[in-house]
């Protein structure tokens, strides 16, 4: 007959095992805490030094230019690059010491978690740089489009510039997320589908709405060498002296009144030049 296990002996062995594990774990825990506290102290010191150096170098001027971008203004926040860079470096150093502390504890799952976060930081830094560069490029393209539209007297220039800004910025953002290790395949497909629909709808609607404006702009290329300020011309029953020619219209001084004619009329109506 099997003997009945001694319950007291079993409980004693369990308690002794737990005590032994605790006794062995406490020195490792103390060492891990010391390493972590030391890491925080060193990280704070380096953060302060790096932030001071970057401020003296003048890197915050880039942040000031970022704050002037409309998208950043709408976030109601002020970007100070010296603070951002120093803070990122602070967390990176703390995570390095946290990895060493986790290894000291001997908990594999915790070590792998902290190590994974530490390895992610450089990729996030690269992604952040891509976003900043993308913001600058997108804003420059927006200003270029608005300037071109203003030179051609296109009233929708700001809207076109904004569309160009978000188009290139979203492309940059998707690439940055991919650099950070996220799967962006579905996001890219959705973005391409949405952009395709927007471009088609905008091109169709704007083409119909602005066909007269485009006709006037094209007419300016054909007419700019034929007519000049100071000439007296007659278009149908309107006779007067040319006092202004722009990209879409021609202004005539007709006796005591001023008549503004769209340039496309010069291509479709009879024009008599008197001098």
| Domain boundaries of the chain, sorted by first residue | 8-106, 122-209, 225-273
| Residue numbers of the chain with a pLDDT score lower than 50 | 1
Q: How many CA atoms lie within 13 A of 98 on its CB side?
A: 17
* CATH 1.20.1730 matches 122-209: no
Residue position matching structure tokens 């120093």? 86
User: Which token pair is 22?
Assistant: 């605790």
User: Which token pair is 50?
Assistant: 């790096």
Alpha-carbon distance of 35 to 55, in angstroms, equals: 30
Alpha-carbon distance of 48 to 56, in angstroms, equals: 13
* CATH 2.30.30.60 matches 225-273: yes
Whether the Cβ atoms of residue 252 and residue 258 lie closer than 8 Å to each other? yes
Residue position matching structure tokens 């005590």? 19
pLDDT in tens, 148-197: 888 777 777 788 888 888 888 888 888 888 887 777 777 767 766 776 66
Residues 6+ apart with CB under 8 A from 130: 172, 175, 176, 179
């Amino acid at each position: 007959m099997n003997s009945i296990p001694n319950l007291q002996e079993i409980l004693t062995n369990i308690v002794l095992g737990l005590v032994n594990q605790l006794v062995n774990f406490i020195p490792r825990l103390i060492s891990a805490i010391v390493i972590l506290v030391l890491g925080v102290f060193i990280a704070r010191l380096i953060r302060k030094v790096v932030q001071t150096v970057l401020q003296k170098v003048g890197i915050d001027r880039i942040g000031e230019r970022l704050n002037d971008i409309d998208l950043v203004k709408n976030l109601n926040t002020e970007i100070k690059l010296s603070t951002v860079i120093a803070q990122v470096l602070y967390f990176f150093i703390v995570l390095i010491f946290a990895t060493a502390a986790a290894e000291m504890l001997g908990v594999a799952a915790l070590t792998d978690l902290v190590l994974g976060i530490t390895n992610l930081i450089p990729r996030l830094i690269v992604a952040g740089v891509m976003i900043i560069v993308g913001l600058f490029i997108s804003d420059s393209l927006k200003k270029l489009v608005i300037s071109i539209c203003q030179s051609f007297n296109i009233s929708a220039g700001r809207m076109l510039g904004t569309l160009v800004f978000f188009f290139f910025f979203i492309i940059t953002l998707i690439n940055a997320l991919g650099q950070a290790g996220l799967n962006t395949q579905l996001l890219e497909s959705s973005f391409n589908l949405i952009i395709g629909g927007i471009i088609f709808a905008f091109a169709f609607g704007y083409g119909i709405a602005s066909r007269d404006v485009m006709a006037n702009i094209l007419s300016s290329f054909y007419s700019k060498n034929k007519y000049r300020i100071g000439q007296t011309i007659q278009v149908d029953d309107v006779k007067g002296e040319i006092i202004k020619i722009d990209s879409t219209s021609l202004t005539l001084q007709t006796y005591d009144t001023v008549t503004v004619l769209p340039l496309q009329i010069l291509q479709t109506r009879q024009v008599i030049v008197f001098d």
